[in-house]
Structure 1
């Protein structure tokens, strides 16, 4: 499946019904999800097992399945989001195991971790448990952070992982919460590929 086709299919994935601002529940836009997943696919990182940390309504997990990954687990602490994720996966005929728990409590070992963690806009450091767990359970890690986060990410993973690539992207955020003033805002973000040690 080509990247543009993947993006078009992922547009069908329904987002959060009642997003929680404290959890920074922003749906990963199809264009960003397709970029991350196709990058992982081209690196051969979707051939084995994949974990989607903080999967929300499932766009990254579902996209991995559409690109041929057979063993996929989506992890999120919000049972309502997982219910939507299950429906999304069913509608797109993708087989995914869903786990409802805090990412800190999840155990396992995976070839690849994909994630769009909280950026820490509501509470500084919200992305750290995700990076910590990704380093613990994954070999290749694909993660999205605010632009300008390279020094933080490099320092946080020092001795435990290496950044192999950084790709800059525009992340469109639709008007979701009352404090948003624009219908769509474009945030500069960075997509990281990290190999754990």
Structure 2
């Protein structure tokens, strides 16, 4: 499937009904999700089992399944978001398992993790448990982080290594009252990490 077609399908994914600022619930834009997932697909990393950690309403999990992942499991702590994710998967006709779990409770093994973890805007270090869980449960990780995170991630992942990373834009829609613009273009980096 071409990246543009994936993006068009993912534009049908509903976002959060009532996003939680403490959980940093920002919907991953379809454009960015399609870009990252297509990159993973071209590397051959979406063929087996894929976990989406902090899956929210299912954007990355559903996209991975649309690109042919054998099994996809999304994990999130927010039951309301998981209800929306299940509806989204049904609407797009894909079989994705969604599990209610804290990031520290994620178990099992995936060939690949795809995730858009909290950036730590509300609480510094919120992305660390997601990286630790991904390193514990998978062989390959695709993750979105604030621009300028390379040195931190390189040190934090220990023996794992960054094989690819690039900068891109995250068009963040106004989600919370403190947001001033309708859409804020946030510079982010997408990482491919291998254990």
The TM-score with structure 1 as length reference comes to 0.98
How far did residue 84 of structure 1 move? Answer: 0.1
Distance (Å, rounded) in 2 between the aligned partners of 1:107 and 1:175: 34
CA deviations 1:41-64 (Å, max 9, x no partner) are 000000010000000000000001
Q: Distance in 1 between matches of 2:78 and 2:158?
A: 31
CA–CA distance in structure 2, aligned partners of residues 175 and 129 of structure 1: 26
Question: CA RMSD of the aligned region, Å?
Answer: 0.5
Deviation at 1:158, TM superposition (A): 1.8
Correspondence 1:177 to 2:176: yes
Aligned residue in 2 for 1:194: 193
1:104-115 aligned at under 5 Å gives the runs 104-115=104-115
Residue 117 (1) aligns with residue 117 (2): yes
Give the aligned partner of residue 49 of structure 1: 49
Aligned to 2:40: 40
Mapped pair 1:90 → 2:90: yes
Residues in 1 aligned to 2:103 and 2:61: alpha-carbon distance in whole angstroms: 15
List aligned pairs for 1:69-148, cutoff 5 A.
Answer: 69-148=69-148
Alignment size in residue pairs: 195
Q: In the alignment, what sits opposite 2:165?
A: 166
Q: Take 1:173 and 1:188, find their aligned partners in 2: how far apart are those partners?
A: 10
The answer for unaligned runs of 5 or more in structure 1 is: none
Distance 1:26 1:14 in 2: 12
* Per-residue deviation, 1:105: 0.7
CA distance in 2, matches of 1:98, 1:170: 28
Per-residue deviation at 1:167?
1.4
Structure 2: which 5+ runs fail to align? none
Query: Structure 1 residue 131: deviation in Å?
Result: 0.1
